[in-house]
Amino acid sequence: MTDIQSRVGELHRLLNQYSYEYYVKDNPSVPDNEYDKLLHELIDIETQYPEYRAEDSPTVRVGGSAQSTFEKVNHDTPMLSLGNAFNEEDLRKFDQRIRDRIGDVEYMCELKIDGLAVSLKYEDGRFVQGLTRGDGTTGEDITENLKTIHAIPLKINESRTFEVRGEAYMPRKSFFSLNEAKAANDEQPFANPRNAAAGSLRQLDSKLAAKRKLSVFLYSVNDFTQFNADTQSEALDELDQLGFKTNQERQRVQTIDEVMAYIKKWTDQREDLAYDIDGIVIKVNALDQQEVLGFTQKSPRWAIAYKFPAEEVVTELLDIELSIGRTGVVTPTAILEPVKVAGTTVSRASLHNEDLIHDKDIRIGDSVVIKKAGDIIPEVIKSVLDRRSKDAATYHMPTHCPSCEHELVRIEGEVALRCINPKCQAQLVEGLIHFVSRQAMNIDGLGTKIIQQLYENNKIKDVADIFYLTKDDLLPLERMGEKKVDNLLNAIEHAKSNSLEQLLFGLGIRHLGVKASQVIAEKYGTMDELFNVTEETLMGIHDIGHKLAQSVVTYLENDDIRALIDKLKEKNVNMTYKGVKTSELEGHPEFKDKTIVLTGKLNQMTRNEASNWLALQGAKVTNSVTKSTDLVIAGEDAGSKLAKAEKFGTDIWSEEDFVQKQNEIEG
């Protein structure tokens, strides 16, 4: 072994040791400048003698060459999400279900880190691949960016092959430093550490990701056969021994009352942590009991996530700003004195419509109570009346559109004011933004600011113009470099092959949502066939009512729309349905060809998740209860639909009944 090779080995050992002490154990043994000095020495050696640069060299922490895109990769086993609990009652029901099935149980309580779920794959002890959660089945390969996180070992001391999963996050210290730098450069700051972490891990240039100083907590192993553990607790201890960073605030408990005590402790102390948490995860500790309990299609039955209740704060309502949506609806937004709510600074909140403003008697200048619905969307709850100024005036919506000055109207039966000018600029821009959105044509990189610039510079006036854009059109725009333009043009080209339902939804036909777009596209197959439909034939499709049928036919009869479709065809935008035909789904006899209505609040899944699952079983999920409805699934606070079902004698299931049936079907 040469002297240089020997020194490289020694530098590897020291740098890995110091990194582990600092980033995993939070107990550094040397000053930062000592680590930096050794790192620069290693960089110099590798620059002069590249043959000594190993794939797991500590120098990869500083980032490497930029990528052009992230490859999509299927997970070996799906990264499932957890069911949610929002209160003590939910948790006690979860505990009762567990005990009814397996008897005595011990739980592991862990902090729910507010970051980005990742999976790390090791082969023969070396870190070889890291993926985002993605949709749970397919993630993005962000290996090079994950290598820049010092808390992730590039190599462990044992020659094992396994996959470990956890949460990458941005410590609060890193977050504040990052936003200070953005403010100094007149850049938009990140809203919260979670967004900052996700944005950092999706940087195509890993050198930029390295500068963000992210960390990670590992919380599970994909396959326990490579481990000596019999419990979740022992598995985490073994990860500690292998050099991984796990969260040390975890606690084993025997009863649901001890779970509640753990939750109370961290609800009170969450702001004392160096990182953000948004809840508590409760898992059955014994791995053999986890195996008995198994999984549903979307989540393990042996774990649940308790979400912290929405935080309420008081701030001042400075003004009410109006925005015009793509259908002309005028929406009032509260402009607030910036205030921190649930870990992020809030300066805007929705007021929905004029009726809500009047019902809650909210006035400009009021002190108002705001909260984040589900810790995400800010909303105004009420005014603090005893702080109101005597001259605070009742708010009235304008009579004319703030964008085009056309007179606003209120359509009978609607609470919203609407601009009905088809040439209103605000509506046209919103329509373009809707067209490229995720559930429509899903053109990645074509965001609101770029759309606005293109519209203002007369580069696009309708949705078809997007497919005629060139590099020369895009390069002059703000912050649009050569690579970004190439990626955007590739995304536009890729969108041409989308299935018909995405195009239909993207066109923004009034009353036509995602589900109805899917149903109509599947039924008629091509855009040319759709041009021949009548209101009567459309209304013959289950769940298509008169308003929607009339809206679709009126839209497609418009000569301007026909010209728009021809313009899209000229650029080879797909006009056919590519999805799976419902008739081809085998489904389950319990649900196949049944008409089902979901009503009330579901706690163990979202309404969309329930609808999609039922559709895969061959059911027709509708919005209204009629005599032909076969089944109503009623969650909490079910109202008139439940009453109607009782009147008709329709079968009614609770959410628990539905989940139990799902579990039986999925085995």
Determine the average pLDDT of the residues in 194-207: 84
Residue scoring higher pLDDT (310 or 212)? 212
Q: Give the distance from CA 33 to its chain's centroid.
A: 39
pLDDT at 264: 94
Q: Is 646 annotated as a binding residue?
A: no
Residue 426 and residue 433: Cα distance in Å, rounded?
A: 11
Read off the tokens for 28: 């550094």
pLDDT in tens, 256-297: 999 999 999 999 898 889 999 989 999 999 999 998 998 876
DSSP state for residue 480 in the 8-state scheme: -
* Nearest-5° Cα angle at 601, 600 to 604: 135
- The residue written with tokens 């628990």 in the block is 656
Residue 423 and residue 428: Cα distance in Å, rounded?
A: 7
**Coil, helix or strand at residue 633:** strand
Residue 212 and residue 206: Cα distance in Å, rounded?
A: 10
- The residue written with tokens 């977050």 in the block is 175
Q: Is 121 annotated as a binding residue?
A: no
DSSP string, 43-85: HHHHHH-GGG--TT-GGGGG--SPPS---EEE-SS--PPPEEE
- The residue written with tokens 């081809």 in the block is 584
DSSP string, 102-124: HSS--EEEEEEESSEEEEEEEET
Q: Is 449 annotated as a binding residue?
A: no
**Coil, helix or strand at residue 377:** strand
pLDDT in tens, 41-84: 888 888 888 887 887 787 777 766 656 578 888 888 888 888 88
Instruction: Answer whether 71's CB lies under 8 Å from 141's CB.
Output: yes
pLDDT at 353: 84
Q: Is 501 annotated as a binding residue?
A: no
**Coil, helix or strand at residue 367:** strand
Which ranges in 460-545 belong to alpha helices (H)? Answer: 471-474, 482-495, 500-506, 514-524, 527-530, 535-539
Residue 87 and residue 145: Cα distance in Å, rounded?
A: 37
- 73: closest CA among 120, 116, 113? 120
Q: Is 562 annotated as a binding residue?
A: no
361: exposed, middle or buried (C-beta count within 10 Å: 0-12, 13-18, 19+)? middle
DSSP string, 295-350: B-SSSBTTEEEEEPPPPEEEEEEEEEEEEE-TT-BEEEEEEEEEEEETTEEEEEEE
Residue 409 and residue 420: Cα distance in Å, rounded?
A: 7
Instruction: Answer whether 497's CB lies under 8 Å from 573's CB.
Output: no
Residue 354 and residue 417: Cα distance in Å, rounded?
A: 8
Q: How many residues does the chain have?
A: 667
pLDDT at 375: 47
Determine the average pLDDT of the residues in 421-437: 90
pLDDT in tens, 74-118: 888 888 888 888 889 999 999 999 999 999 999 999 999 989 999
Residue 146 and residue 167: Cα distance in Å, rounded?
A: 11
Determine the average pLDDT of the residues in 544-569: 90
pLDDT at 581 over 80: no
> What is the overall mean pLDDT for the chain?
87
Print burial letters for 219-238: b (CB count within 10 Å at least 16), e (below 16).
bbbbebeebebebbbbbbeb
pLDDT at 355: 87
pLDDT band at 436; cut points 50, 70, 90: very high
pLDDT at 458: 92
Residue 189 and residue 196: Cα distance in Å, rounded?
A: 9
pLDDT in tens, 607-646: 777 887 888 788 888 877 888 899 999 888 777 788 888 8
Please give the positions annotated as active site: 112
Enumerate the β-bridge partners of residue 72: 140
Instruction: Answer whether 352's CB lies under 8 Å from 336's CB.
Output: no
pLDDT in tens, 355-410: 889 999 999 999 999 887 544 568 888 999 989 988 888 999 999 999 999 999 88
Gyration radius from the chain CA atoms: 28
Q: φ, ψ for residue 148 (rounded to 5)?
A: -80, -10
pLDDT at 582: 62
DSSP string, 393-461: PPP---SB-TTT-PBEE--TT--S-EE--TT-HHHHHHHHHHHTSTTTT--TT--HHHHHHHHHTTS-S
Residue 397 and residue 408: Cα distance in Å, rounded?
A: 10
**Coil, helix or strand at residue 273:** coil
Instruction: Answer whether 119's CB lies under 8 Å from 165's CB.
Output: yes
pLDDT band at 236; cut points 50, 70, 90: very high
Q: Is 109 annotated as a binding residue?
A: no
- 23: closest CA among 309, 245, 314, 326? 245
pLDDT band at 147; cut points 50, 70, 90: very high
Q: Distances in Å between the alpha carbon of 276 and those of 172, 281, 479, 519?
A: 7, 14, 31, 42
DSSP state for residue 21 in the 8-state scheme: I
pLDDT in tens, 316-361: 999 999 989 888 889 899 999 998 886 678 899 888 888 889 999 9
Residue 1 and residue 471: Cα distance in Å, rounded?
A: 54
pLDDT at 203 over 50: yes
- 400: closest CA among 455, 335, 322, 325? 322
Going from the N-terminus, what domains does the chain have, and what CATH number goes with each?
3-62 (1.10.287.610), 83-307 (3.30.470.30), 312-387 (2.40.50.140), 425-570 (1.10.150.20), 582-666 (3.40.50.10190)
pLDDT at 543: 64
Q: Is 33 annotated as a binding residue?
A: yes
Instruction: Answer whether 499's CB lies under 8 Å from 577's CB.
Output: yes
- The residue written with tokens 């579990």 in the block is 663
Q: Is 159 annotated as a binding residue?
A: no
pLDDT at 195 over 50: yes
